[in-house]
Amino acid sequence: MSLSDKELIHYSRQIIMPEIDDSGQLKIKSSKVAIIGLGGLGSSCALYLAAAGIGEMLLVDGDRVESSNLQRQIAHSFDYIGVAKVESAKNQINSINPLTIINTVSENISDDNSQLLKDHEIDVIIDCSDNYPTRYLLNKYSLSKKIPLIHASAIKFQGHITTFNLTENSPCYECLFENNNHNDENCESQGVFPPIVGVIGSMQASEVLKVILGLNALDGYYQTFDLLNNKINTFKLSKNPSCPSCSS
Ligand SMILES: [Zn+2]
């Protein structure tokens, strides 16, 4: 695989940076990522990754676009209300970068269909879901296949992000969140400030690109954003030696 003259011009504003260069752009072009959830986080993450030149994306989401999504889910538009989110997002992504190959699965991910991540030879999994069963499932899959997992969530004015399972020594999702009772908070019951999903989804795109490029990702660090109180914090994470998922 190589970069055409048109691609060298198209991506010139990032290739000029020594941290990326031609070789990094080629790595971005060669990468296949899975975006699980095409809501607020998945929308901004997918659009930035396509703009940056990701070679191939697998979009997984069983929902259809509703008008109440449009205040924050920028990969969808009015004309696509009622359409599968993965098809709506595919259309928007392709208008930004027709060279990115988009595969779609209009189903929610589950134990029954998680094989599709293997079938598509995914390099990075991006958790843009809004529920705990999916987060645990993706963590389990990521650990078993040794594929990095970019995890994030956002609600009201707050969001957080980290990268799990980058190396053998990285903490996993269950090191941080034990698999027991969780609050069933969601955007429908609690509300969501539109830009927070843009901020956190863009951070997920940043993490994906840094993992691909071998730059300093949030491996072992957990970053929180509070747009109401103007606070950004970074916490060090440790692997839990008795984690039921990743301890040996
Ligand atoms: Zn763990």
- What are the per-10-residue average pLDDT scores of the chain (248 residues)? 95 98 98 98 98 98 98 98 98 97 97 89 96 94 96 97 95 89 73 97 98 97 98 96 90
pLDDT attached to residue 191: 94
Q: What distance in angstroms lies between residue 18's CA and the mean position of ligand 1's atoms?
A: 34
Q: What distance in angstroms lies between residue 22's CA and the mean position of ligand 1's atoms?
A: 36
Q: What distance in angstroms lies between residue 170's CA and the mean position of ligand 1's atoms?
A: 8
Q: What distance in angstroms lies between residue 143's CA and the mean position of ligand 1's atoms?
A: 9
Q: What distance in angstroms lies between residue 224's CA and the mean position of ligand 1's atoms?
A: 20
Structural domains of the chain, with CATH: 31-236 (3.40.50.720)
For residue 56, give the H/E element and its range: strand 56-60
Query: What is the rounded CA–CA span in Å between residue 93 and residue 109?
Result: 21
Query: What is the rounded CA–CA span in Å between residue 80 and residue 78?
Result: 5
pLDDT attached to residue 78: 97
Q: What distance in angstroms lies between residue 46's CA and the mean position of ligand 1's atoms?
A: 27
pLDDT attached to residue 118: 87
pLDDT attached to residue 186: 74
Q: What distance in angstroms lies between residue 107's CA and the mean position of ligand 1's atoms?
A: 27
Q: What distance in angstroms lies between residue 243's CA and the mean position of ligand 1's atoms?
A: 5
Q: What distance in angstroms lies between residue 114's CA and the mean position of ligand 1's atoms?
A: 20
Residue among 183, 208, 176, 182 nearest 31 (CA): 208
Amino acid at site 29: K
